[in-house]
Amino acid sequence: MITTSMVTPKFLTKPDEIGVVAVGFSGGQCKPGVDAAPSALIASGLLTQLHTELGYNLHHDDTVHSYKDLMPSEDPDVRGMKNPLAVSAVTKKLSEQVYAHAKEGRCVLTLGGDHSIAIGTVSGTAKAIKERLGREMAVIWVDAHADINTPETSDSGNIHGMPVAFLTGLAKEKREEIFGWLQKDNLVSVKKLVYIGLRDVDRGEKQILQEHGICAFSMHDIDRHGIGRIMEMALGHIGNDTPIHLSFDVDALDPMWAPSTGTPVRGGLTLREGDYIAECVHATGSLIAMDLVEVNPTLEPGVNDIGAHETVRAGCSLVRCALGESLL
Ligand SMILES: [Mn+2]
């Protein structure tokens, strides 16, 4: 049975509406299959549940966007980045799509795709919130990884490990066609960024987190304090007067709960801890957007696709919790 605990949203003018963007894009990393996630999530009934069980009116174009028309014929590495033209073009377009929903005052749900797409989603909501409310939003980044490499600190060159660096202005590129379209209006402050679930952070990233005093709760912190106290501290850092964009990488969950993902790391969140994070963010009434990324149903599918099925199911649960499902 699904029960809802609806909280009156503080920063949405259309609280009963959700703008949905389905992004079948995998170009921020090397493993195909993450582009199949939106269809798998939708086929498992996620959008139907949001409508019939949680009561939202969905604004969705019934399309899983692959942005094929935006793909360049050649896309050579730039500063070590792989597929820079493609990722930039796709995220720029996605930024406009998310902006259009957020500007209308509705909550935006983006189903990825690899985590590079957050360059599009976060920049879109940041701009809309600045225009609509004249304030900066916060980002809660739930992930095993910090995704804050600059092109120079990245070993792999995969842009899904760099979105936070571009979104905070720590990584910059002047060329319009390679993220030069990210302007001040699109960016978020490192002071308004909170990480939860980190456990595989590169050396260069650790340095960036320390240098900028970024608020980050690793699995060590969660072991020490428990997820309840961690959420108090995370939300305390943000304050109750700030809109929140929740960017949830399914690899924050332990591979036991979400095996079908591109870069699994053992020692992660339980499904309940993940749901609890989402429930707490919902309870603030400050949620203005959520991304669910890095579900890859083609990896570790398991016997009878049980692994893929469980990963999709976990992803759906995280989304429903963030949007108001409650246990009682
Ligand atoms: Mn990520």
pLDDT of residue 192: 97
CA of 278 to the centre of ligand 1 (A): 16
Residues 6+ apart with CB under 8 A from 185: 126, 127, 130, 131
Tokens linked to 46: 């996620």
Helix (H) or strand (E) holding 183: none
Helix (H) or strand (E) holding 165: helix 163-167
Which CATH number goes with the domain that contains 105? Answer: 3.40.800.10
pLDDT of residue 99: 98
CA of 216 to the centre of ligand 1 (A): 14
Does 1 map to a domain?
Answer: no
Does 310 map to a domain?
Answer: yes
CA of 262 to the centre of ligand 1 (A): 10
Does 2 map to a domain?
Answer: no
Report which of 192, 255, 268 is spatially closest to residue 223, judged by C-alpha positions: 268
d(CA 151, CA 147): 11
Does 181 map to a domain?
Answer: yes
Does 137 map to a domain?
Answer: yes
Does 4 map to a domain?
Answer: no
pLDDT of residue 5: 72
Give the total number of structural domains in the chain: 1
pLDDT of residue 299: 95
Q: Alpha-carbon torsion 172, 178, 179, 183, what sign?
A: positive
CA of 247 to the centre of ligand 1 (A): 8
Mean pLDDT by 10 residues, the chain (328 residues): 77 97 97 97 98 97 97 96 98 98 98 98 98 97 98 97 98 95 96 98 97 98 98 97 98 98 98 98 98 97 93 98 96
Q: What angle do CA 95, 97, 101 make, to 5 degrees?
A: 110
* Residue appearing with tokens 């910090």: 146
d(CA 265, CA 198): 10
Does 135 map to a domain?
Answer: yes
Helix (H) or strand (E) holding 279: helix 271-284
Does 151 map to a domain?
Answer: yes
Active site residues: 115, 143, 145, 147, 160, 249, 251, 294
CA of 139 to the centre of ligand 1 (A): 13
Tokens linked to 270: 């339980």
Give me the domain span that covers residue 206: 16-326
pLDDT of residue 2: 64
Q: Are 133 and 193 in contact (CB under 8 A)?
A: no
Q: Alpha-carbon torsion 144, 293, 295, 52, what sign?
A: positive
Q: CA–CA distance from 30 to each of 138, 158, 195, 213, 282 (Å)?
A: 29, 7, 24, 31, 33
Does this model's pTM top 0.85? My answer is yes
CA of 1 to the centre of ligand 1 (A): 31
Name residue 196's beta-bridge partners: 142, 217
Residues, the chain, total? 328
Coil, helix or strand at residue 214? coil
Q: CA–CA distance from 254 to each of 33, 144, 216, 307 (Å)?
A: 20, 9, 18, 12
